[in-house]
Structure 1
Amino acid sequence: MIIRSIETFQVAVPLKKAFKTALRTVTVAEAMYVRIQLDDGREGVGEAPPTHVITGESLASIQFAIEGVFKPLLIGKDLRYHEQIFQALHRSMVHNTSAKAAVDMALYDLLAQDADLPLYQYLGGAKSELTTDYTVSVNEPAEMADDATRYVQDGFHILKVKVGIGEIEDDIKRIKAIRNAVGFDIKLRLDANQGWTAKEAVRAIRQMEDEQLNIELIEQPVLAHDIEGLKYVTAHTLTPIMADESVFSLYDAKRVIEMRAADLINIKLMKAGGIYQALKIATLAASHDMNCMTGSMIETKLGVGAAAHFAASQSNIIYYDFDAPLMLKGDLLDGSIQYEGAKIIFASSPGLGIKRIKKGVN
C-alpha cells in the first residue's frame, strides 16, 4: 500500500440560490479535489473548499499545502502504517485544516477499500442511514418563510435557520414568520454564525423561549474566540447551545467542555483537519456524555459524503447538517451517498463508494 502519486484539480458548481449567512454569501461551490493513488492502482479521493471567513483558506493556499507540503511528505509512504502518516500530516504545518481534511479523507477512502468495507462501517458502523436538516438562508422574513415552506414540501422536517444579521427584533420576526408558515411539527435549529454578542444572544433566546417558539438548539451565537461569552449564553438560557466555529481542534473541544461553555459541539472535517482528528473530538465529547452534530461547509457530495460516513460511525453524533449537495445545480460524482428526500443512504461498495468523478455537472 505504497503511496505512488498525489494530484489536485479544481472544481466549481453553481448554487441553485445564493446561500446567505451572517458571515458571507456564496453563489458558487468551489473546491480543490485531491486524488491519491497507491502502487497497486487503487485511488482515494478528497475535497477541500476555500472557506476564507472560517478556516482562512483559499484555493491557492489549499493547493500549495497539498502539492508543496503534503505531497513530498507522503509519496513513498506505506499506508499500512497509517497512524504515523496521519501524525506526520498534522505536524507538517499549522492550520490549513481543509487541505489536511482533503488528504485525510482520501487516505481513509483507501483504508476502507483495503478492508473491503464502506467507510462508515470501517470506522465503527453505528448507523446505516441518516436524516439531514435543510438550511434556510438569512433573508427578509417573508422570503425565509416561503423557502421554509418549500423545503418542508420537499420532505424536510428539520430546518436549520440562519440568523444574526441586523437587530435582534429582525431575527425574532424571521423565526415567527417561519413558525407561522410551517407550524410546530417542524423542528427549527438556529445558527447565528457568530452574529450576536453574548447579551444579545441571551435576550433573543429568552424572548424565543418566553414566546414558546420551540427552538431545538442555537448554534454559535457569539464570536468564535469568545468562549466566556459562549459560557454566559449557555448558563443563562434553557435552549441547548452548540459550539461550531469555536471548536476546530481537540484542544478547543477540551476547553469548551471543561468550561461547560456549550451543551453540544458541531464537528466539521474542514475545521478538524479530517477524520483522524474528528474521531478524537467525538471520543472526548462522548467521555463527557456530550452529543454532537456533524455538518459541512458549502461542499460537493465528495466532502459531505466523507463527513456523513464519519457521522454514521459514531453513536454520540445525533444531529446531521448535510444539505449542501442539494443546494447545487449539479452532481460531479457517480456513486457516493444518495439522498431520498431528507434521508441519506450509504452505498454498499467499499470506501467512499465513488465510482467516477465527472468532468462537468449533470
Structure 2
Amino acid sequence: MKIKQIELLKQSTPLKKPFKTALRTAYTADEIIVRLTADTGEVGYGAAPPTAVITGDTLESISHNIEDFLLPRLVNQDMDELESLLHTVSSALVNNTSAKAAVDMALYDLWAQKHNAPLYQLLGGARSTLETDITISVNAPEEMADDAANAIDQGICMLKIKVGNDVHLDLERVKAVRERVGKNVLIRLDANQGWNRKEAVRIIRQMEDMDLRIELVEQPVKAHDLEGLKWITDRVDTPILADESMFSPRDALKILEMRAADLINIKLMKSGGIYQALKINAIAESYGVECMIGCMLESSIGITAAAHLAAAKKNITRVDLDSALLLAENRVVGGVQYNGSEMTLGKGNGLGIEGLIFPE
C-alpha cells in the first residue's frame, strides 16, 4: 500500500451554544481535514482545529505547514514503513503540533486499514467502549447549573466545569452546579490557567471543606509555571491535572520528575499526534501516573483518533472527548458513536470513518 493522493479540506461547523473558557469564546468549530488515498483505494482521515491560545496554531499555519512541509514527504511512500513516516512527520518542523497531529492520525488510519483491524486493537486493545465527560462553559452560576442539569437529562454522568475567568465567582459556580445535579454526579474542574497559585490553593481548599466532591482540577496556573503547579499539588488533597503545561514526552519527564502534578492530560493537538502521545503515556505509566485523554474544539475525526488511543491503553483512565457533542451537526460518517456518556468505537477498520458530509 502506497500513498497515492493527498487532499486538504477546510470545514467550519456551528456550535449548539458558544463555548466559553478562561482563554476564549468560540462560536464555530473550524478545522483542516487531511484525506490520504492509497493506491489500493483505502482512505485515511485526519484533522486539526486551530487553537492559537494554546498551541499557537491557526487555520492558515496548519494548512501551510501541512502543504509545504509534511505532505511532500509522504507522496508515493509505502505504508509498510509507518515508523519512518511518523518520524518524518514529527521531525519535519519544530512545534506546529496540530499540523503534525492531522497527518499522523491519517497515517495511522491507513496503516490499520492495511492490516484489516480497528486502530485501537493494533495499539493495544484494552477496551472497546469509553465513558466521557461533557464540558460546561463558564457563565453565570445559574446558567451553568441549568446547562449541567440539561446534560444529565441527556444521559451524561460526568461533568467538566470551566472556571478561571473570575476567581470570586468560581466557588459560586461550582456550588450552583453541585446543588443542581446532586452528590453522585462526577465533577471535574478546568481553570485553563486562570488562577494564581495562592488563589488556586484557597479555592480548592474551600471546595474540599465544603465537600463539593471535585474529582480533579485541571491546569490551575499558567502553562509555564511548573513551580506554581507543584506548589498547589503539594498543598491540596484534590488531584491536580497538568494540561497546557504538557505537550511533549520531554514535558512529561520534567513534570513527573518534579512531581508537579498528580495526573497528565494528553491531547493529540498538543503532542503532535498518536506517535508522540504513546510515548507520553508510557513515560507516565513508568512513574505510576495515570493519564487523561482530552481534546480541543474539534469534530468526530480527531475525537475518533483520540478515542482509539484511549481504548488501546489501560493507563489512560479518564476521558474528556466531548467536543463532537457540542456541534450543531455531525458531518462525519462513521467513527465514534455516543450514547449519553458512553462512546463506542465500532468494528470498522482503521478509525472507521466512512466519509464526510459537506453543507450545500
**Could you say which TM-score interval applies, normalised by the shorter chain?**
over 0.9
Unaligned runs of at least 5 residues, structure 1: none
Report the residue type matching 1:42 in the other structure. Answer: E
C-alpha distance in 2 between matches for 1:11 and 1:349 = 24
Deviation larger for 73-82 or 277-286: 73-82
Query: Match for residue 48 of structure 2?
Result: 48
Query: Match for residue 19 of structure 2?
Result: 19
TM-score between both structures, scaled by the size of structure 1: 0.98
Query: Match for residue 276 of structure 1?
Result: 275
Q: 1:158–1:187: 8 Å Cα contact kept in structure 2?
A: yes
Report the residue type matching 1:183 in the other structure. Answer: G
Query: Match for residue 251 of structure 1?
Result: 250
Query: Match for residue 284 of structure 2?
Result: 285
Query: Match for residue 123 of structure 2?
Result: 123
Report the residue type matching 2:205 in the other structure. Answer: R
Q: 1:7–1:67: 8 Å Cα contact kept in structure 2?
A: no
Matches within 5 A, 1:161-240: 161-166=161-166, 168-240=167-239
Query: Match for residue 295 of structure 2?
Result: 296
Please give the secondary structure, in 2, of the residue aligned with 1:7. strand
Query: Match for residue 98 of structure 1?
Result: 98
Deviation at 1:143, TM superposition (A): 0.4
C-alpha distance in 1 between matches for 2:6 and 2:257 = 39
Q: 2:128–2:346: 8 Å Cα contact kept in structure 1?
A: no
Deviation at 1:133, TM superposition (A): 0.4
Unaligned runs of at least 5 residues, structure 2: none
Query: Match for residue 7 of structure 2?
Result: 7
Q: 2:50–2:57: 8 Å Cα contact kept in structure 1?
A: yes
Query: Match for residue 29 of structure 1?
Result: 29
C-alpha distance in 1 between matches for 2:4 and 2:225 = 44
In the TM superposition, what whole-angstrom CA distance separates every residue of 1:215-249 from its partner, at most 9, and x where no partner exists?
00000000000000000000010000000000000
In the TM superposition, what whole-angstrom CA distance separates every residue of 1:168-204 from its partner, at most 9, and x where no partner exists?
2310000111111111111110000000011110111
Please give the secondary structure, in 2, of the residue aligned with 1:242. strand
Query: Match for residue 137 of structure 1?
Result: 137
Deviation at 1:330, TM superposition (A): 0.6
C-alpha distance in 2 between matches for 1:163 and 1:34 = 33
In the TM superposition, what whole-angstrom CA distance separates every residue of 1:81-139 from its partner, at most 9, and x where no partner exists?
11111111111100110110000000000111011111111111101100110111000
Q: 2:128–2:311: 8 Å Cα contact kept in structure 1?
A: yes
Please give the secondary structure, in 2, of the residue aligned with 1:19. strand
- 1:352 maps onto 2:348 in alignment: no
Q: What is the identity percentage for the equivalent residue pairs of Structure 1 and Structure 2?
A: 53
C-alpha distance in 2 between matches for 1:182 and 1:82 = 47
In the TM superposition, what whole-angstrom CA distance separates every residue of 1:253-307 from its partner, at most 9, and x where no partner exists?
1000000000001100000000000000001111111111001000000110110
In the TM superposition, what whole-angstrom CA distance separates every residue of 1:34-65 from its partner, at most 9, and x where no partner exists?
01122222210100001110111111111111
Matches within 5 A, 1:293-332: 293-332=292-331
- 1:77 maps onto 2:85 in alignment: no
Across the two proteins, how many residue pairs are aligned to each other?
Answer: 360
C-alpha distance in 2 between matches for 1:41 and 1:180 = 54
**4+ runs of 1 displaced by more than 6 Å?**
none
C-alpha distance in 2 between matches for 1:156 and 1:90 = 36
Deviation at 1:76, TM superposition (A): 2.1
Please give the secondary structure, in 2, of the residue aligned with 1:34. strand
Q: 2:20–2:137: 8 Å Cα contact kept in structure 1?
A: yes
Query: Match for residue 67 of structure 2?
Result: 67
Q: 2:14–2:328: 8 Å Cα contact kept in structure 1?
A: yes
Please give the secondary structure, in 2, of the residue aligned with 1:279. helix
Please give the secondary structure, in 2, of the residue aligned with 1:103. helix
C-alpha distance in 2 between matches for 1:139 and 1:124 = 40
C-alpha distance in 2 between matches for 1:5 and 1:71 = 10
